[in-house]
Structure 1
Amino acid sequence: MARRTTNASAVVTGAASGIGRALARELGKRGGRVVCADIDEVGLKETVVAVEAAGGEALATTCDVAELADVQQLHDTAVDWIGHAPRLVINNAGIGAGGHPVGEAPLSEWQRTLGINLWGVIHGCHVFTPTLREAGAGGIINVASAAGFTAAPRMAAYNVSKAGVVSLSETLAAELDGTGIKVTVLCPTFVRTNIFEGELIEAGAAGMARRIAGIAGFSPERVARMTLDAHDRGRLYVVPQPDAQLLWRTKRLAPGAYTKGAGLLGRFLPDPSA
């Protein structure tokens, strides 16, 4: 098993909290040098402390992944600090959104969600893939969600953004096959992070998600370990939780029945406008 995540020179976006912080810290435990990027400067400083306490080295740099120029600057900052291009790129930055059906969710919600969750990953792959090709080795981990294949009602913008990340990852894996560069896409269900506090999540939906995450959700640290270990094994998909795995298999075995079931569930959800 190739140990790409040991002593890795890495970039992690969305590193100020949640899964991003857990991934950065786990890389630090494995002896890594980690460039931690986010728009949250306070959270980034806390992540740097966590990475260094775990035994690694870290640099904090602000980056809005929705802006191509910011991601290009992130690349240059990483090269300057590491001394060469990073060998592991983790496109993790994302926001939560949901609670309203298609046609009622404002287009501004669609634009912001796709701008960060999908275009942020596109920017990361666009900027860093050529450098990885030149090195002839390394890896890319894109953080999607089980929402990318479950297509739950009233989460259209979020679902579409994460489905795009899954498709991009599959395409990139095919293009990079045989190059020494591995691609992994993470598709979890509920993880105990602050994503449910996002301003684009309707309050009722956020509350329900927090309750489910509190009962059945995995910790971000557990998800980070599983993801990095899977990447070392060369796995394309990481579907960590049993519920995610069940939904993954059901959708593929009986897509029509699955969609009808999801529609039935949607009719029982509370109306946020009521």
Structure 2
Amino acid sequence: MSRRTKHADAVVTGAGSGIGRAFATEIARRGGRVVCADLDETRAKETVTRIEAAGGEAIAVGCDVSELGQVEALQGTAVDWLGRSPSLVVNNAGIGAGGKVVGEAPLADWQRTLGVNLWGVIHGCHVFAPALRELGHGGIVNVASAAGFTAAPRMAAYNVSKAGVVSLSETLAAELAGTGIAVTVLCPTFVKTNIFDGELIDAGAAGLARKIARVAGFSADRVARTTLDAHDKGRLYVVPQLDAQLLWRTKRLLPVPYTRAAGLMGRFVPEEETR
């Protein structure tokens, strides 16, 4: 088993909270140096403070991953601080979106969701993959979601963005096969983070999601550890929760009945929960 996550020189986007912060702190715990990037640089600095308090090394960088120029600048900052190209890139930055059906969800919400969740990962892979090829070893972890294959109603923009991340990861893994560079895509269901507080999620849908996460969600720390361990083993897919695994298998084996059932279940959600 490779130990590419041990003593890694890493870049983590969306490192100011949630899964991103958990990835950054776990990589540091494994002896790595971490560039913590986030749209909110103050939150990124809070993550750095935690890492340094535990004896690790990290810096904070403000970065809007939906802007290619900012991701390119992030790479430059990482190389300057690390003294070389990073060996591990975690494209985690993302926002939540949901609550409206296709045709009612504003196109501006689609554009913002795809800009961060999909284009942010595209930018990360576009900028960092060539340097990893040159390095000849290392890895990329892309954070998608079970939403990328479950296709639940009233979450179209989010679903599409995460399905794109899964497809991009599969393609990149094929392109990098045999190069010594691993690609892993994380597809969790509910994780106890602040993603449900996003401005693109209707209040009712966000409230329902929070309730489910409190009862059945995994901690961000657990998800990060599981994913990094799987990455060390060269696994492409990480589907950490049992519900996600069951949904994935059901969708693959019974796609038409699954879609009909998902639609019916969506119609039985109380209206006040989806407004």
Scaled by the length of structure 2, the TM-score of the pair is 0.98
The worse-fitting range, judged by mean Cα deviation, of 49-58 and 251-260 is: 49-58
Distance 2:238 2:31 in 1: 23
Distance 2:56 2:253 in 1: 43
Change (3 A) 1:54 1:228: farther
Counterpart residue type for residue 220 of structure 2? P
Give the secondary structure class of the aligned counterpart of 1:16.
coil
Question: Contact conserved, 1:34 with 1:58, CA < 8 A, in 2?
Answer: yes
Question: Contact conserved, 1:28 with 1:52, CA < 8 A, in 2?
Answer: no
Question: Contact conserved, 1:27 with 1:56, CA < 8 A, in 2?
Answer: no
Question: Contact conserved, 1:182 with 1:231, CA < 8 A, in 2?
Answer: yes
Q: Which residue of 1 aligns with 2:30?
A: 30
Counterpart residue type for residue 139 of structure 2? G
Q: Which residue of 2 aligns with 1:223?
A: 223
Structure 2: gaps (5+ residues): none
Give the secondary structure class of the aligned counterpart of 1:235.
coil
Q: Which residue of 2 aligns with 1:61?
A: 61
Distance 1:84 1:42 in 2: 25
- Compute the displacement of 1:130 (Å): 0.4
* Counterpart mapping for 1:208-247 below 5 A: 208-247=208-247
Q: Which residue of 1 aligns with 2:145?
A: 145
Q: Which residue of 2 aligns with 1:75?
A: 75
Distance 1:91 1:41 in 2: 16
Give the secondary structure class of the aligned counterpart of 2:11.
strand
Distance 2:149 2:82 in 1: 36
1:249-270 Cα shifts (integer Å, max 9, x gaps): 1111111111011011111123
Count of aligned pairs? 274
Counterpart residue type for residue 66 of structure 2? A
Distance 2:39 2:108 in 1: 20
Counterpart residue type for residue 104 of structure 1? E
Structure 1: gaps (5+ residues): none
Q: Which residue of 2 aligns with 1:165?
A: 165
Q: Which residue of 1 aligns with 2:131?
A: 131
Give the secondary structure class of the aligned counterpart of 1:104.
coil
- Compute the displacement of 1:271 (Å): 3.0
Q: Note if 1:18 corresponds to 2:18.
A: yes
Give the secondary structure class of the aligned counterpart of 1:35.
strand
Distance 2:226 2:178 in 1: 24
Distance 2:253 2:147 in 1: 17
Q: Which residue of 2 aligns with 1:186?
A: 186
Question: Contact conserved, 1:31 with 1:55, CA < 8 A, in 2?
Answer: no
- Compute the displacement of 1:70 (Å): 0.1
Distance 2:56 2:246 in 1: 36
Distance 1:30 1:54 in 2: 11
Give the secondary structure class of the aligned counterpart of 2:105.
coil
Distance 2:78 2:88 in 1: 11
Scaled by the length of structure 1, the TM-score of the pair is 0.98
Identity of aligned residues (%): 76
Q: Note if 1:252 corresponds to 2:256.
A: no
Counterpart residue type for residue 56 of structure 1? G
Question: Contact conserved, 1:88 with 1:139, CA < 8 A, in 2?
Answer: yes
1:165-201 Cα shifts (integer Å, max 9, x gaps): 0000000000000000000000000000000000000
Counterpart residue type for residue 71 of structure 1? V
1:64-106 Cα shifts (integer Å, max 9, x gaps): 0000000000000000000000000000000000000000000
Q: Note if 1:265 corresponds to 2:247.
A: no
Q: Which residue of 1 aligns with 2:111?
A: 111
- Compute the displacement of 1:51 (Å): 1.6
- Compute the displacement of 1:49 (Å): 1.3
Q: Which residue of 2 aligns with 1:101?
A: 101
- Compute the displacement of 1:55 (Å): 3.2
